[in-house]
Structure 1
């Protein structure tokens, strides 16, 4: 019997709304008398057929999230779930698109509620949260500029990074360079979803066009081994979400997922859940499934957790505090 479920974990790739427990969204919709359509299966889980349908269901599930207090409750619910899987530190993607329609004043109110919930969760559950502001790629570059302004005006402290999510097949990453430059000038660290639905060239674009030091997913780099070696040499960190990739059909099983080969070739991989209730996963399940697929032991997972903490966008004092807990737990 292994102790993987109890191991302390670091998560860098988590969408706040996408981590909402289905029961939480159903309850909120009922409270507000909002009809969000047939987005649930009979067993209460989220229902979708493919990635693009998933995006629509995701946006429908956000409908009941109407104000800062809803996001306060959401943040607490999500962090309680994460902490139950042993997560000590998490970074979550936050979209001003869903938090006040990219209006700076409204965004500040939402952000205040989220940070209040994060403070309470740290006290109650022992988990630390930081935020990465994320425009939605398929909403277009102009709206991304508004999101970047929200990010730049609230950078520092809780808001530590800037990224991009959404439909990877919509537009080109270089179209969003203005927004990334603004975020970078405000002191925010850079990540980008790439190499999930597009191939290796998209990973190159994230690294070279946007200057991303972390890549969300990045798994399609495996189709170009020279790129895999370049990622390893440059020390770019991949926020890998194996359960998400398997659930969406990018790979047929954990055993056929490239995270094992990438790890063996020296790539700095991390383990993440992406949108856990959508993909029927948790951080504890990710660890267990990877253990079964690659026979990884606790030492491998401890190394990956340390890689994730080193790559975290938080300040040095927070890192030092989390590291002490990691080291105590791992002996």
Structure 2
């Protein structure tokens, strides 16, 4: 089994249907039956119904312990597929809305990470993400909260949400604050919006990685610039196909990006919603074992883990 690593997966988006039902029952809730199809998978038809399903799944989360169970469940499953390292996108917005303190939430996530490492040997880390459409002031406040309570497992800062709202430059103060305090930085760009989104991100934000970034393939000059800078793309082919960005994996620009010299990684994004896993992304990428091993190394090199952890992980995945 090829050793794998992942740097683009959303915490709440990793909840499998079975766990969602278990969490809901534990919290005295009943999830709506139309959330699932006849096979027990999440049911949605387009981007907006996907977001609606995502939000309804999240209603099963009520206590700090629930977040522990989610990250543990994902890390355990990824480890069984050969993953040695996962960075999880985690937003403090949802626990805050539930009245869970940032400290309690982080402690719960850390417990899940520690339990998974003890049982499966997988290393987990956290990227705190702001929600783009909630605005730059909220993002800066989030960074300040992150800095006020540092945790060794929190290694980076990023941004998800509606790519069409606001401009990357609006979030430059938040990103500079994170970067200047030693946190790695990434941003979702070039997924729904075209290459101009990626140009703006690498121009205005101190990012070394782009979440998705696949629309960069529409602009040869941008691919050349990404290759020149060594910016790494967190590519999620299964997600892109499921959401209709591309009709099938054969049409996906993964191979064009690689051919252009762009550094890429393979990731699952919101795996149970898109009927994928990290293992499936490696299996269906259409790459040989040498190329997949190189992608795993790139993922570790591009991770926001500390130098010693990166070195140890690279030793684990080297042949």
User: Per the shorter chain, which TM-score range?
Assistant: over 0.9
Structure 1 residues 60 and 141: alpha-carbon distance in aligned structure 2, compared to 1, 3 A threshold: farther
Structure 1 residues 155 and 237: alpha-carbon distance in aligned structure 2, compared to 1, 3 A threshold: farther
Count how many residue pairs are aligned between Structure 1 and Structure 2.
318
Give the structure-2-normalised TM-score: 0.96
1:315 aligns with 2:310: no
Over 6 Å off, 4+ runs: none
Deviation readout 1:136-190 (Å, 9 max, x if unpaired)? 1122223223322222223451001000001112222222222212222322111
Deviation readout 1:44-94 (Å, 9 max, x if unpaired)? 111222223222221221112112111111111111111121110010001
- Show the counterpart of 2:243: 248
- Show the counterpart of 1:304: 295
User: Mind listing any 5+ residue stretches in structure 2 that lack a counterpart?
Assistant: none
Cα distance in 1 between the residues matched to 2:4 and 2:56: 30
Segment drifting more, 169-178 vs 255-264: 169-178
Deviation readout 1:170-219 (Å, 9 max, x if unpaired)? 22222222221222232211100000000001001111111211000000
Root mean square deviation, CA, Å = 1.5
Structure 1 residues 61 and 157: alpha-carbon distance in aligned structure 2, compared to 1, 3 A threshold: same
Residue of structure 1 aligned with 2:173, choices 172, 178, 182: 178
Deviation readout 1:7-28 (Å, 9 max, x if unpaired)? 1001010111101111101121
Cα distance in 1 between the residues matched to 2:197 and 2:299: 22
1:97 aligns with 2:93: yes
- Show the counterpart of 1:3: none
Cα distance in 1 between the residues matched to 2:159 and 2:177: 14
Cα distance in 1 between the residues matched to 2:52 and 2:133: 12
- Show the counterpart of 2:183: 188
Cα distance in 2 between the residues matched to 1:138 and 1:56: 16
- Show the counterpart of 1:34: 29
Cα distance in 2 between the residues matched to 1:51 and 1:148: 29
Does the 8 A contact of 2:179 with 2:206 survive in 1?
A: no
Give the structure-1-normalised TM-score: 0.92
Structure 1 residues 267 and 251: alpha-carbon distance in aligned structure 2, compared to 1, 3 A threshold: same
